[in-house]
Amino acid sequence: MRTPAPLRAIRTAGIQALSVVLAVLVVAGGSQAAPRTPVTAALTADGPAVVLPKIDCAALAGQDLSGTPDAPAVIASATETTSPSGRPACEVKGIAAPQIQFDVLLPTETWRQRYLQTGCGAFCGSVDFFADAADGCVPLDRGDFAVATGNQGHVGAYGFDAAFGADPQLRVDFGHRADHVVAVVAKQLIARYRGADQRFGLQVGGEGPRWEGREARAVP
């Protein structure tokens, strides 16, 4: 579901004010991922080689992420779908306590060992694959990336609903924990679905520079 035009304008302006970030994520994954299969360093004209899934999409629904360090989570669903660009994908949704919602799109035929996490503007409060700052990006449109997003740690009306601020834990989640949890969970899902880790990670939109700087310091 697309965000209403006025709010999208606000978010786009916010991204432009932050110089439209597309920066490297430095986030550690959990220690309980399935055994990784070494990925060859071979490159094609289109970049890293395609890595196909090792398990069915539906099998991800039964994965136990409750013991993931820093990011215990519950998977609500794992269904086959298509990405916004029309590529086949496995969509995984879930939650990490108390209110961190996540949504991860895992390409089924085209993944080239890349990961993109989309930011969330204003006070957020809902899940939306908002990557307007990457419109026209060929690798993204052709399905090279696994893409993840979240609700910034609380449930609310998108935009300027600050009611969550009365809860100290939700303030912490909004301030920094939610983005980290989404990244850790997404990378766990990538490893379990592919049997291999991603080689490249990017973030676009939202609070880019502040977030990557904090993650790099916390998880060097």
pLDDT digits 0-9 by tens, 172-183 = 999 889 999 999
When pLDDT is cut at 50, 70 and 90, the band that residue 88 belongs to is: very high
* Pairing verdict, β 200-204 and 114-118: parallel
Query: What pLDDT does 47 receive?
Result: 79
Q: Mean pLDDT across the stretch 63-84?
A: 95
Calpha distance 220→216 (Å, rounded): 5
Q: What's the predicted TM-score (pTM) here?
A: 0.76
Query: What pLDDT does 136 receive?
Result: 77
Query: What pLDDT does 205 receive?
Result: 58
Q: Mean pLDDT across the stretch 26-39?
A: 42
- Phi and psi angles of residue 54, each rounded to the nearest 5 degrees, phi first: -100, -20
* Amino acid making up residue 203: Q
Q: Mean pLDDT across the stretch 15-24?
A: 36
- Phi and psi angles of residue 14, each rounded to the nearest 5 degrees, phi first: -65, -40
Q: Which residue has the higher pLDDT, 155 or 213?
A: 155
When pLDDT is cut at 50, 70 and 90, the band that residue 157 belongs to is: confident
Query: What pLDDT does 170 receive?
Result: 96
Calpha distance 72→105 (Å, rounded): 19
When pLDDT is cut at 50, 70 and 90, the band that residue 211 belongs to is: low
pLDDT higher than 80, residue 31: no
Query: What pLDDT does 146 receive?
Result: 95
Name the one residue in this structure whose structure tokens are 């973030």.
Answer: 203
- Residues sharing a CB contact under 8 Å with residue 104, sequence separation 6 or more, in sequence order: 91, 92, 93, 146, 147, 148, 185, 186, 189
- CA-CA-CA-CA torsion sign (105, 70, 118, 74): positive
Q: How many angstroms separate the Cα of 198 from the Cα of each of 62, 192, 204?
A: 22, 11, 17
Contact between 201 and 219 (Cβ < 8 Å): no
